[in-house]
A and B are shown apart, each in its own frame.
Chain A
Amino acid sequence: AQSVTQLDSHVSVSEGTPVLLRCNYSSSYSPSLFWYVQHPNKGLQLLLKYTSAATLVKGINGFEAEFKKSETSFHLTKPSAHMSDAAEYFCVVSDRNTGNQFYFGTGTSLTVIP
């Protein structure tokens, strides 16, 4: 069965400093991995996805993530945080066993301090 563990429930960074949101996954098959962002009172928006092509994936708004099979990790990074990045971030896994059924982590709340 698939599962996702987001290692930090809350992360706080200063504006202009790097962001690291950590995600570990479990999957019996080659996984597809996604990061979604949820701003208050707004819908979930895709930041980026990994689907067995390049292991370093670039997304929107300067975010990127690296798939590391040996570590079963898919951490999300951004070189410089912006105030508008404050939101809830979800790591998501799916695989060919269950197709397009998404399994979400519990989320990481990112606070950006001015």
Chain B
Amino acid sequence: ETGVTQSPTHLIKTRGQQVTLRCSSQSGHNTVSWYQQALGQGPQFIFQYYREEENGRGNFPPRFSGLQYPNYRSVRNVIALELDDSALYLCASSSDRASYNEQFFGPGTRLTVL
């Protein structure tokens, strides 16, 4: 069984550019969450997708947008970049949106904004 994968592993962009981060969830999972982890901080919840619909958003502006494909397995997160978006972006999947379910995390995409 393949775990959660993310691409690319690293990105360097400049302010104002747009970036697309991709995630493939674990087989059988229909819920995917995205987190932003700044250096030395804990991950912060960006948003969650459940069966192709956004199912909650943290304190992040609309320029963070996402999409979950009909197969549930692939999700993208698109950001129109500002300088303080530099961080590790983590994707996690779970079997459904119940609060007690474990989330399985991918290795992350390290984004640097210059």
Contacts and interface: CB of A to CB of B under 8 A. Distances in A.
B101 interface: yes
Contacts of B97: 99-100
Interface stretch (A42-50, A61-69, A70-78, A79-87): A42-50
Interface string B8-29: 0000000000000000000000
B41 A94 contact: no
A95 B96 CA distance: 14
Given A32-B99, A44-B90, A98 B42 contact: no
Contacts of A43: 4, 90, 105-108
Contact of A100 (B31, B40, B42): B31
Interface string A26-55: 000001101010000011111001011000
Q: How large is the interface on B (under 10, 10 to 19, 20 to 34, 35 or more residues)?
A: 20 to 34
B42 A104 contact: yes
Contacts of A46: 102-103
B90 A100 contact: no
Interface stretch (B43-51, B60-68, B71-79): B43-51
A42 to B, nearest CB: 7
Given A44-B105, A90-B43, A107-B41, A99 B90 contact: no
Interface class of chain A by DSSP: strand
Interface class of chain B by DSSP: loop
Interface residues of A, number: 27
B33 A102 contact: yes
Contacts of A52: 100
A37 to B, nearest CB: 11
Interface centre among A44, A103, A106 (most CB of B within 10 A): A44
A99 B106 CA distance: 20
A107 B43 CA distance: 9
11 contacts: A31-B99, A36-B105, A43-B107, A43-B108, A95-B99, A99-B97, A102-B35, A104-B42, A104-B43, A106-B42, A107-B42
Interface of B: 4, 31, 33, 35, 40-45, 48, 55-56, 58, 90, 92, 94, 96-103, 105-108
